Amino acid sequence: MSREVLMAAAMEVVDTNGAGAFSMRALGGFLDCDPTAMYRHFATKNALLDALVDSVVRDGVADLPESDDPRADIRANFRQLRRSLLAHPTLAPLVLRRPPGVGAYWERSDHAVAQLHRAGMDPADAANVYQTLLFYTLGHTLSEARQLARAVEKEGAGARGGPVAQVRPPAELHPDLSDVAPHLREDNEAQFLAGLDLILRDLPR
Amino acid sequence: MSREVLMAAAMEVVDTNGAGAFSMRALGGFLDCDPTAMYRHFATKNALLDALVDSVVRDGVADLPESDDPRADIRANFRQLRRSLLAHPTLAPLVLRRPPGVGAYWERSDHAVAQLHRAGMDPADAANVYQTLLFYTLGHTLSEARQLARAVEKEGAGARGGPVAQVRPPAELHPDLSDVAPHLREDNEAQFLAGLDLILRDLPR
DNA sequence: ACCTGAACACCGTTCAAGT
DNA sequence: ACCTGAACACCGTTCAAGT
């Protein structure tokens, strides 16, 4: 049994039953082998999960565009990170286990920073814009993933979650929030992109 | 045994041993009572953890300033959310279990949105700026908390973590990222505030 | 009315034993 | 060289039994 088929099987178990229900015993059952056989390839269950997370973070980086529009290329980068994470909603929160400076982020980070540079931004500003984009994307996407994950765990794989930032406070107590609530978009992707554009608002050129 | 002392004890166990080591049996041992006694007050271990998380999210909202500088007040709001979460680094990632529209966020959200309104921003823009600030803060703070938590689990309570976005890629492979890496601040709070200011950059007035 | 603790159905991981 | 499976030290939660 190769490391690759083991990871593929683990991802399948995670996606169908949820990361919470993933266990070495469950994986052993899925692969018809002893639960302890996996320790040949991964020192620990967490090491296996880290490898799965890294593969998701790296997913699709080879296809990132380098057009003549740096802003569009950056948008594509983070939009695709969001989509890769949402493809595995119960696994997504585990990205926090991987520091954002780890190898799995390098290509993606280099692409984003290169576009900021190309748009004429100096390194200090580029660093700030980059970190803001990254952490905003993680915060938004992980919040969305948790809601999706709840739906998956209840209704099984392929369920749809609701809007990520829906707020229904009592209007008497929280008037300002109530005014704004209707503008928190139903469409999570549109809301997400609006935040990216806000951060990229005055990108040079 | 009241619900309050139970939560206080649970928080103490979480902070000293890490949320990963928290269990009903550990809490029972700490309180010198049967591990199943807690089920009188909380239906489930997760319900107990959710209550802890809500108390952290609500922490300090009563003290949020309303000065004559809306931008400073908003900064104070999210800076304080960051600090409350970092005070319990191993618990912090569990905020993702609470949708950001839940009651624990209401006062805090209302305060932030009120300041945006006060600064002359229309509701649609305020909604976008608010959600961007919130998810950026969550992403940045949870990433930082994870590193702190790793240090706590290794060295015990009170340990210090390193910079949240430290990146050391091989310069030949990732030249742009390497240019920018030195500008990713050592000081996590300064880096965090720089991102807030970026998002709030052209707040009216 | 409240607490107890045995019991059930699980965990991750180790390691001696097999092939 | 690789897999197996018994065993260890844990889990969350339920429920009959105690007080």
Contact A176/B113, CB-based, under 8 Å?
yes
CA distance B58 to B37: 27
Q: Please, what are the domains in chain B?
A: 62-200 (1.10.357.10)
CB neighbour class for A100 (10 Å; exposed up to 12, middle 13-18, buried from 19): buried
| pTM summary value | 0.95
* pLDDT level of residue B185 (50, 70, 90 thresholds): confident
- State what percent of residues in chain B have pLDDT above 70: 99
Model confidence pLDDT, tens digit, residues A54-92: 999 999 999 999 999 999 999 999 999 999 999 999 999
**Alpha-carbon distance B1 to nearest alpha carbon in chain A (angstroms):** 31
pLDDT score at A205: 59
Q: Which residue of B has its CA nearest to A135?
A: B139
Model confidence pLDDT, tens digit, residues B11-43: 999 999 899 999 999 999 999 999 999 999 999
A49 pLDDT more than 70: yes
Query: Cα angle vertex A112, ends B196, A87, to 5°?
Result: 90
Q: Which residues of A touch B134 (CB under 8 A)?
A: 139, 165
Secondary structure of B19-55 as H, E, C letters:
HHHCCHHHHHHHHCCCHHHHHHCCCCHHHHHHHHHHH
Please give the mean pLDDT across all residues of chain B: 92
Model confidence pLDDT, tens digit, residues A154-201: 776 777 777 887 888 898 899 999 999 999 877 999 999 999 999 999
Please give the mean pLDDT across all residues of chain A: 92
A139 touching chain B per CB within 8 A:
yes
* pLDDT level of residue B205 (50, 70, 90 thresholds): low
Task: Identify whether the C-beta of residue A14 lies closer than 8 Å to the C-beta of residue A88.
Answer: yes
pLDDT score at A137: 98
A26 pLDDT more than 90: yes
DSSP H helical ranges for A32-86: 45-58, 70-86
A202 pLDDT more than 90: no
pLDDT score at A153: 77
pLDDT score at A164: 82
Q: Mean pLDDT over residues B82-92, rounded?
A: 97
